[in-house]
């Protein structure tokens, strides 16, 4: 298992993403175009174990579970 420091992890966030230290890997926690109403702070799915992650910067949502971060206004059916 490879261990990364927080600094190294932050440097790996690319493509309209930012580092967030408490992101769940579940679809219910990620803000996607399909669930843009989601508020991570209030979601029970996001209150479980935390891990280091890269998420879309404010104003951007992921296009699908594995998609790129796009401006919220460009989401299909925005």
Q: List, for residues 12-67, the tens digit of each pLDDT value.
A: 677 667 666 555 555 556 778 888 776 655 556 565 556 667 778 888 888 887 78
Report how far residue 69's alpha carbon sits from residue 36's, in angstroms, rounded to the nearest whole number: 12
Q: Report residue 6 as tokens.
A: 């927080």
Query: The whole model's pTM is what?
Result: 0.58
In the chain, what are the domains?
6-74 (2.10.25.10)
| Helix (H) or strand (E) run with residue 9 in it | helix 6-11
Q: Name which of 65, 58, 60 is nearest 30 in CA terms.
A: 65
CA angle 70/75/78 to nearest 5° reads: 140
């Amino acid at each position: 298992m490879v261990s990364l420091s927080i600094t190294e992890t932050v440097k790996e966030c690319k493509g309209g993403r930012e580092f967030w230290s408490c992101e769940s890997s579940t679809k219910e926690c990620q803000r996607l175009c399909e669930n843009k109403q989601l508020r991570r702070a209030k979601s029970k799915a996001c209150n479980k174990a935390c891990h280091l992650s890269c998420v879309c910067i404010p104003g951007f949502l992921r296009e699908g579970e594995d998609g790129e971060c796009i401006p919220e206004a460009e989401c299909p059916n925005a």
